[in-house]
């Protein structure tokens, strides 16, 4: 769109224009039949994908605090596109953080430009599935490489991906990470599962039927706990909480706008504004390395806030908010996502106790 220029830092004036454009497009991304390609292209033009990449591969190397500020803005504008970007950049960071120069040269430049789309298939290495008797995705030594058999259960943008950073487990318990092109023989990507919200993310399982992986695709391993290795290590950290707070911000801004015309909403609006600002400050402190900020506490607070904020916005919108197409209804559905997306067991248990009235 005219006027959109690369965003060099979180306070760049172009951030407002990008977020305005993303928010205008967000209602279009409703089901698996859609894909926010236009929104992703806007982000590519604005240099969003460079925020997360190191300078030695052409990135802007934003600090964790700067990335958090960026994600807060993007999530408030369009959660579906922002969620996809987290998976996209998760894959790119893994590739960029590897010692495989051939792999970096093959993918990173085209991914940062938005010409190629990368995603991750690693949830089975970071959840209870890793403790089942047989790995859901098995890597068997074959020649100078490995044969992959099984599936990755939750892969965002599977049907749109050019490359998937996937984790697999060997019989001896060691694990590997590889960047597998989706055109490889034996890769079968689902078209996307219809979800309560974010269906346009085209999240689905990917099957690997005898897929051969050689050293040119290898990111790390085989080693124990491969997810803890490499410069791109980490499975999200504060990222999920940040997206929850960004969505809460959108709902609170709606409520605050309504409160300018309705005095009965003022007290609730002021309280939620103060709470979201406090939580954003906590996120930024944690992202800056403040050890006094507990990630689990921030996640629990973010989850509670996004649920309350979106429902408060629905109360303010009244019946209009319950009509399909109103943003408040979408935000309420999207808020439920944070009850299941990478939600730590202690946080889930705390939610259950609250819902059951157990103090």
Enumerate residue ranges in the chain where pLDDT < 50.
1-2, 128-130, 233-236
Collapse the DSSP code of 188 into the 3-class scheme (helix H, G, I; strand E, B; otherwise coil) and give the result: strand
Other beta carbons within 10 Å of 317: 21
Strands (E), 28-128: 118-121
**pLDDT value at residue 133:** 65
Question: pTM for the complete prediction?
Answer: 0.94
**pLDDT value at residue 355:** 79
DSSP state of 155: E
**pLDDT value at residue 19:** 97
- Residue closest to 50 by CA, chosen among 42, 60, 40, 39: 60
Bridge partners of residue 150, in order along the sequence? 137, 208
CB 273 within 8 A of CB 252: yes
**pLDDT value at residue 342:** 79
**pLDDT value at residue 319:** 94
Distance of CA 299 to the CA centre of its chain: 14
Element spanning 105, H or E: helix 101-112
pLDDT in tens, 221-243: 899 888 877 655 443 469 999 99
């Amino acid at each position: 769109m005219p006027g959109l220029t690369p965003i060099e830092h979180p306070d760049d004036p172009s951030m407002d224009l990008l977020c305005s454009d993303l928010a205008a497009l967000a209602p279009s991304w409703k089901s698996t039949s859609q894909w926010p390609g236009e929104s992703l292209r806007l982000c590519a033009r604005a240099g969003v994908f460079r925020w997360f990449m190191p300078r030695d591969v052409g990135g802007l190397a934003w600090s964790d605090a700067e990335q958090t500020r960026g994600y807060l803005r993007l999530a408030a504008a369009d959660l579906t596109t922002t969620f996809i970007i987290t998976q996209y950049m998760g894959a790119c960071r893994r590739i960029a953080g590897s010692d495989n120069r051939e792999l970096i040269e093959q993918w990173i430049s085209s991914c940062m430009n938005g010409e190629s789309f990368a995603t991750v298939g690693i949830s089975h290495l970071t959840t209870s599935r890793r403790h089942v008797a047989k790995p859901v995705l098995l890597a068997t030594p074959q020649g100078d490489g490995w044969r992959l058999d099984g599936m990755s259960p939750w892969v965002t943008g599977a049907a749109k991906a050019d490359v998937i950073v996937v984790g697999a487990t060997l019989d001896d318990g060691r694990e590997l990470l590889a960047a597998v092109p989706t055109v490889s023989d034996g890769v079968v990507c689902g078209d996307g599962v219809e979800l309560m919200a974010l269906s346009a993310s085209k999240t689905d399982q990917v099957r690997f039927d005898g897929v051969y992986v050689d050293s040119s695709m290898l990111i790390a391993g085989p080693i124990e706990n491969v997810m803890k290795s490499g410069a791109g290590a980490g499975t999200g950290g504060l990222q999920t909480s940040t997206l929850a707070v960004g969505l809460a911000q959108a709902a609170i801004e709606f409520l605050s706008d309504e409160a300018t015309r309705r005095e009965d909403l003022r007290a609730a609006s002021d309280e939620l504004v103060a709470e979201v600002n406090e939580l954003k400050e906590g996120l930024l402190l944690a992202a800056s390395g403040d050890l006094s900020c507990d990630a689990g506490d921030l996640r629990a607070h973010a989850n509670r806030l996004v649920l309350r904020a979106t429902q408060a916005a629905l109360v303010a919108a009244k019946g209009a908010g319950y009509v399909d197409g109103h943003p408040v209804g979408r935000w309420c559905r999207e808020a439920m996502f944070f009850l299941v997306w990478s939600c730590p067991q202690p946080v889930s248990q705390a939610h259950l106790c609250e819902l059951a009235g157990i103090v």
